[in-house]
Structure 1
């Protein structure tokens, strides 16, 4: 059920994986790279983003065969950067590359009443920023499980998919219990993006079992813990201040906390 990590850099030649669902009365599928280019680093905590340089870097990844980009509505200018990038692909690359490029985004709304108009307004905003007629994938997250409004939101999202504004519907950071409820409501979920590494193997318990039974894929992030699982930090006790390289990005700081749990 695992697709692969969403990472900041990787080697060329990532094979394609297909995410698919036949729930809700219609089939939907999307071929993506097994290694995704994560765009959390555009959200502000890594410093100023030069948009032209960022787009050029995205183009270099796509040229190397790493043509799937993972972003969110709240990752700073990530969706806008994708819109700039995809237009550059349209102008400067052959049509075959355009067919291979994928833009996966996320919607993380406040837990307010999920009306059709509210959901559609937010989806349209992402479509406009990314400059696409249909989102390749919308990954949905919900902060408050005590509020069942996530089902209303997902039903509206599914309707928008049927209308051609979204190609595939997915989740991010949902737990196993809620994933099962969502599937039982006929929502055509193709994947759930969750944290997974040799330090944090929680998805291999109940979540992986449910995904095996239902065909939902897991897209994993934090696989190299923002770089903590690299030669740079080899033999370093990260719990001792100033004992090694600085933990100077939000991801390094986050995964230090994970490693301390």
Structure 2
């Protein structure tokens, strides 16, 4: 992740880190293949959540798994990633049904690992298996002049690294809204989509105002990837309303807060050195700052205790409950869970999310615990504002 240079309160955060034409008030809008367990949307309506979902805009659509494998952790800071071990781990995730991978141009070797992985799939798995695998990437350019050749050259780098003719999804980030070059970039990306080099266009860390402007410029956006957790409920205050009006979906990250939303940190004191688990990865450090902005470690412990009660009741993990709650929020299509490929795995916990049913009592208790913290929309601003100067 590229560091953010800003005087903003959250300047030490790092980027993790996705044809409507009218105004908001009038917008219309070799393993067996059976190892892929994510069910089609049409086949599992009797269960609580379908394991796959389609994001779309007009004729553009892409089916993804609702729990995505986030690959920020391959970029360094979480432990040394061995290439062969990482690819084997990617195969295990895909074999278990967790077959959507999210990466970025600046996530270290993530795109290269995907290229190796997808070639293993082509050689060792049946064709119908390949049809369920998805590789979502991001382009995070400097705010320079967005010429057609500059955009094309950068997208071709990702296509080559991932070894695909067409990117399943290109999620675009922009640093500086005062520079309207983001519209030029998105128009060039739309042209590349028309050429078949990109299947779907999306955004990452855009705010509600800019999402509306982009849609009014006939850019066919299918999703916006934003930070969203029980601590950070900002997307439900403005963004979700626009998404519901236009059909744009949210893909969320930071949903387990780098692991803070887990049993490991329940009843832990992280404010005294060596007294509890270390806050020693970029993601833990990032989301610990978010906890501090939300209300502090003591209040966060109350949230963890509530989640533990719900998790124990259902025989799942705290993380599974945290993800499930966000998946059930308006406009949310999928949620990211970071993967430390070859170092640790959470396949069982992730798949447990699909069968988890939160009842009314669960939802009410979680909502109450989450609502005790500060409104981060007032503290930070809208989605993505933590990456930009105040």
Give the shorter-chain TM-score range. over 0.9
- Is it true that 1:65 corresponds to 2:82 in the alignment? no
Contact residue 238 and residue 256 of structure 1 kept, 8 A: no
CA distance in 1, matches of 2:274, 2:237: 35
Query: What is the distance in 2 between the residues matched to 1:198 and 1:95?
Result: 39
Say how many residue pairs are matched: 248
**Deviation, structure 1 residue 219:** 0.2
> Structure with the greater relative contact order (CA < 8 A, sep ≥ 6): 1 or 2?
2
- Work out whether 1:96 is the aligned partner of 2:128: yes
Which of 223, 235, 238 is the matching residue for 2:267? 235
Question: Which structure 1 residue ranges, 5 or more long, are not aligned?
Answer: 1-5
The yes-or-no answer on 1:175 pairing with 2:207 is yes
Report how far residue 180 of structure 1 moved: 0.4
Query: Which one of the candidate residues 244, 248, 252 is aligned to 2:280?
Result: 248
What is the CA–CA distance in structure 1 between the aligned matches of 2:280 and 2:286, rounded to whole Å? 11
* SS in structure 2 at match of 1:209: helix
Gaps of 5+ in 2: 1-15, 18-36, 39-49, 294-390
SS at match of 1:31: strand
Give distance in 2, aligned partners of 1:100 and 1:248. Answer: 35
* 1:218-258 C-alpha deviation (Å, 9 max, x unpaired): 00011110110100000123344433101121111110011
Task: Name the structure 1 match of 2:80.
Answer: 48
Q: Deviations over 1:63-103 (max 9, x none)?
A: 00000000000000000000000000001111111111000
Cα deviation, 1:94-141, whole Å, max 9, x if unaligned, reads: 111111100000000000000000000000000000000000000000
Where 2:131 maps in the other structure, the secondary structure is helix
- For residue 157 of structure 2, the aligned residue among 125, 130, 135 is 125
* Equivalent in the alignment of 2:193: 161
Structure-1 residue corresponding to 2:56: 20
Larger Cα-atom Rg: 2
Question: How far, CA to CA, are the matches of 1:72 and 1:153 in structure 2?
Answer: 17
2-structure distance, mates of 1:134, 1:239: 47
Partners of 2:270 and 2:284 in 1: CA distance: 10
Superposed displacement of residue 47, structure 1? 2.5
Secondary structure in structure 1 of the residue aligned to 2:105: coil
Q: Which residue of the other structure, out of 138, 141, 152, is the alignment partner of 2:173?
A: 141
Is 2:257–2:284's contact at 8 Å kept on the other side of the alignment?
yes
Displacement of 1:28? 0.2
**8 A contact 2:270–2:278 mirrored in 1:** no
Is residue 214 from structure 1 mapped to residue 250 from structure 2 by the alignment? no
Q: Residue 154 of structure 1: SS of its match in structure 2?
A: helix
- TM-score, normalization: structure 1? 0.93
| Greater strand proportion | 1
CA distance in 1, matches of 2:63, 2:83: 27
Q: Deviations over 1:138-166 (max 9, x none)?
A: 00000011100000000000000000000
1:257 aligned partner: 289
| Pairing partner for 1:81 from 101, 113, 117 | 113
What residue is the counterpart of 1:3 in the other structure? none
Alignment check: 8 A CA contact 1:109 1:141 kept: yes
User: What CA distance in whole angstroms lies between the structure 1 residues aligned with 2:121 and 2:202?
Assistant: 25
